[in-house]
């Protein structure tokens, strides 16, 4: 085998094609930075004849990516297929068994199968690298695994899905409904035709599960991530958030608490003074808080051919240098089984929007429920009479436990004077 780092690529979609372009365009630069050349030896995809805007001349073609991972004479296999099982998982397993390093952009696979794959890679003496799986081109894996390794991480949170951030930004800036902006995002390619993985928070939850493992030395636990999406965020909630001095963001947040590992993905209100409140459009941002460095913030494009290929190539250069790290920052056998902190134990302030009948005594009924459940109201707004004879009542609370807040809302929804299901959005202080 030559001194060059020999690479096989499984999957030639947007990211695969972008990676070939980056490796080709910057071949000399990459060789200087990595200490040796990087050569693409073999590729595999569903359609050999598809025009991808790149040349595949000189690469061995494999119809079956798993066969390529087993048979190609390479040092590194790039898994850029996607999906938590199927060919993606099989490619990674075959590459590891064959003694090849693996580089992947597949957050779903790692969120669901990462523990087993990390252990297998460690046993085989190869690396499993995935900078591209979290927040596109933002080097957050390297930051947590290396740059902040001397810190105890007390909180890691961020905007982890560009589609949701784009939708919430457009709703606020152009005063458009969720449905209208989603349709526009689909036309522009920011959202899939079936958008649930993005808008229901699943994509962000995959990424948060990986960040949590890196930050706290725990086994990846995707099922322990409490997840809500943005479908129920209405334009009026965005307007009220502005009035109260907040902005609504879909945040992923993880911290170790006395109740266990708290992993949350949900839309929340953050102060307009917070830096992350000003991360707009399709951008991602991650904040890692360490006990020696305080807050460090990483911002950039979270998806697309360029940013994702940039992260893939960064992992390849590390391998060319001979740099290898445990997948999740420490040996797989040392990763802890952290108890899950249930959402009912969450403590914080809340924004509540009610639609109530415009009649005497309604406010007294509502506030009596808050009093009975020992949830303290901080502010309350009641708007003028409407033609529908139902009016919005909007309030924020002081900090309380989520279990008490949920009991309060269940009782309020049962009142005859309340005509719609209450809207609840958590308020995050981020301090």
Three-class HEC string of 178-237? HHHHHHHHHHHCCCCCCCHHHHCCHHHHHHHHHHHHHHHCECCCHHHCEECCCCCCCHHH
Question: In angstroms, rounded to a whole number, what is the distance separating the alpha carbons of residues 28 and 34?
Answer: 10
Beta-strand pair 390-397/294-301: unpaired
Check 107, 142, 207, 219 and give the catalytic one. Answer: 207
Closest CA to 74 of 90, 47, 96, 93: 96
* 348 strand-pairing partners: 400
Question: In angstroms, rounded to a whole number, what is the distance separating the alpha carbons of residues 137 and 158?
Answer: 14
SS3 16: helix
DSSP tag of 418: B
Question: In angstroms, rounded to a whole number, what is the distance separating the alpha carbons of residues 319 and 161?
Answer: 28
Contact status, residue 247 vs residue 269, Cβ threshold 8 Å: yes
SS3 238: helix
Question: In angstroms, rounded to a whole number, what is the distance separating the alpha carbons of residues 200 and 167?
Answer: 13
SS3 330: coil
Cβ-Cβ contacts under 8 Å for 170 (sequence gap 6 or more) = 176, 181, 184, 185
Q: Is 207 among the residues known to form the active site?
A: yes
Q: Catalytic residue positions?
A: 207
């Amino acid at each position: 085998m030559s001194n060059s780092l020999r690479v096989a690529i499984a999957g030639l979609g947007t990211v695969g094609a972008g990676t070939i372009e980056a490796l080709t365009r910057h071949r000399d630069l990459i060789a200087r930075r990595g200490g040796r050349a990087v050569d693409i030896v073999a590729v595999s995809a569903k359609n050999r004849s598809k025009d991808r805007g790149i040349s595949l001349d000189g690469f061995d073609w494999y119809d079956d990516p798993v066969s390529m991972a087993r048979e190609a004479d390479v040092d590194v296999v790039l898994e850029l297929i996607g999906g938590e099982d199927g060919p993606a998982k099989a490619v990674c397993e075959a590459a590891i068994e064959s003694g090849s390093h693996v580089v992947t952009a597949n957050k779903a696979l790692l969120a669901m199968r990462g523990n087993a794959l990390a252990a297998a890679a460690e046993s085989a003496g190869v690396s499993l690298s995935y900078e591209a799986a979290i927040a596109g081109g933002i080097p957050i894996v390297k930051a947590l695994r290396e740059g902040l390794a001397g810190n105890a991480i007390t909180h890691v949170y961020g905007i982890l899905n560009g589609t949701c951030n784009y939708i919430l930004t457009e709703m606020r800036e152009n005063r458009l409904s969720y449905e209208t902006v989603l349709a526009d995002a689909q036309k522009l390619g920011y959202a899939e035709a079936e958008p649930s993985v993005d808008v229901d928070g699943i994509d962000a939850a995959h990424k948060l599960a990986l960040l949590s493992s890196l930050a706290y030395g725990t086994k990846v636990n995707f099922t322990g991530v409490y997840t809500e999406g943005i479908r129920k965020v209405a334009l009026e909630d965005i307007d009220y958030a502005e009035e109260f001095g907040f902005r609504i963001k879909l945040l992923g947040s993880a911290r170790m608490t006395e109740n266990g590992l708290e992993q949350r993905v949900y839309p929340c209100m953050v102060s307009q003074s917070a830096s992350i409140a000003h991360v707009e459009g399709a951008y991602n941002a991650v904040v890692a808080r360490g006990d020696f460095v305080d807050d460090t913030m990483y911002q950039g494009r979270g998806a697309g051919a360029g940013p994702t290929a940039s992260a893939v190539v960064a992992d390849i250069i590390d391998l060319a240098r001979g740099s290898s790290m445990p997948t999740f920052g420490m040996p797989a056998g040392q990763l802890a089984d952290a108890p899950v902190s249930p959402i009912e134990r969450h403590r914080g302030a809340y924004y509540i929007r009610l639609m109530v009948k415009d009649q005497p005594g309604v406010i007294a009924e509502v506030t009596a429920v808050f009093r009975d459940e020992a949830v303290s109201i901080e502010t309350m707004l009641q708007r003028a009479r409407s033609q529908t004879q139902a009016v919005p009542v909007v309030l924020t609370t002081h900090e309380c436990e989520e279990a008490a807040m949920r009991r309060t809302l269940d009782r309020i929804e049962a009142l005859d004077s309340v005509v719609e299901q209450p809207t609840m959005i958590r308020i995050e202080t981020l301090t």
